[in-house]
Amino acid sequence: MSDADLPETEGPETEGQDETLVETLQLERIEENLFRGTSPDNRPGRIFGGQVIAQSLLAAYETVQDRVCHSLHCYFIRPGDPTVPIVFDVDRSRDGGSFTTRRVVAIQRGKQIFNLAASFMVHEAGFEHQSEMPAGPHWSELPDEAEAMREYLKTAPEAARSWMGRSRPVEMRAVDARNYFMSGPKPPVAQNWFRCRTPIGDDAHMHQVILAYASDMNLLSTAMRPHGVHWQTPGFQSASLDHAMWFHKPTDFNHWHLYAHDSPSASGGRGFIRGSIYAEDGTLVASVAQEGLMRMKPGT
C-alpha cells in the first residue's frame, strides 16, 4: 500500500538533503533484469508510493530501447520499508513491432510490495483531440504550499511537525488549499499546480518518470473532502491501493503543470479519483486514476 498517511505534498526527501530527485531515483543493475533501489529517507515508516512507481518505471526503461511508455497500471501490495533496499525484477513480457510490454515486481525481504505493468510504443502520428484545461487561478497567483505549511506548523501537533516540516522535491501551489487541522466538508474536486524543484535534465524519459512520481500526490485527499476528514483525523485510515497512468504527450516537468482531479465515487471503504495533468500552455500531457482505502477504525 502506498504511504497515503502522509499529507498531500509529502514526499520521501529528507530535510536539508541536497540530492536531486533524479539522483534519488537511480537504480543499481545487479543482474540482466534485476535492479536495486533505495529510499532517500531511511527513517522508520512507509515508502512514498510515488517513489516505487517511478523506480519501477525506470527499471522497465532499462530494458527498453527507442520506445516511450504510454501507459502503466500498478498495485500497492504491502507497505514499503524505507530502511530496506528494494529489488526490482523486470519481466520482458513482449517485444512487438509497435509495442513493448514489461512487468516489474518490487520486492523487499523476499515478498512483493508492489507490481507494475507498463506498455511502450514507437512514435506514431495519428488522430488528435483533447479536453480543455479547466479554468482556475494561474500558479503565479497562488502561494507556495511550503510557505503555507510554515503557518500551519506554528499550531500543529508535535507529532505532525516532523513530517510536515520536511523539504519536498516537488513544488506545489494549491487552489483552495486545505488546513489539515480545521477541515470541513468540501466538493470532491481539486486543482494543484506542481513542478520538480531540481533540474531533471534533457532525458525525456526521466521527465516522464518524475511526473509518475508526482502523480501519486494529492489524489486520495480529493476523495476525503466531502467527508471532512484529513490525514490527521483521529481513527482515520487511508492508503493507495492501485494506480494507473496514461502519457499523452512529452513534457518538461521543470515547468509548471496543472493537476486537476475529481472523485466521482466513494464506497465500500474505498475512494476513487481521476486526474488530468496539463502543461501550462493547456496541453493535456497525462491522465491518472487511483483507488484508495478510506475508513474509520471501529470505535472512533
Beta bridge partners of 277: 259, 286
Enter the C-alpha cell of residue 40. 532517500
Is 216 a residue of the active site?
Answer: yes
Q: Is 36 exposed, middle or buried (0-12, 13-18, 19+ CB in 10 A)?
A: middle
Of the residues 2, 191, 287, 290, only one is catalytic, namely 290
CB 116 within 8 A of CB 72: yes
Q: Report the distance separating Cα 296 and Cα 273, nearest Å.
A: 19
Type of residue found at 241: L
Is 237 a residue of the active site?
Answer: no
> Within 13 Å of residue 57, how many CA atoms lie on the same side as its CB?
33
Q: For the CA atoms of 132, 119, 213, 39, what is the dihedral angle to 10 degrees?
A: 180
3-state secondary structure of 187: coil
Of the residues 208, 240, 276, 287, only one is catalytic, namely 240
For the chain, the distance separating the N- and C-terminal CA atoms, rounded to the nearest angstrom, is: 22
E strand or H helix at 158, and its extent? helix 158-164
Beta bridge partners of 34: 31, 89
Of the residues 216, 238, 263, 276, only one is catalytic, namely 216
Q: Report the distance separating Cα 161 and Cα 251, nearest Å.
A: 34
Is 262 a residue of the active site?
Answer: no
Q: Report the distance separating Cα 231 and Cα 160, nearest Å.
A: 10
Enter the C-alpha cell of residue 287. 491522465
CB 233 within 8 A of CB 295: no
Enter the C-alpha cell of residue 75. 498495485
> Which residues are part of the catalytic machinery?
216, 240, 290
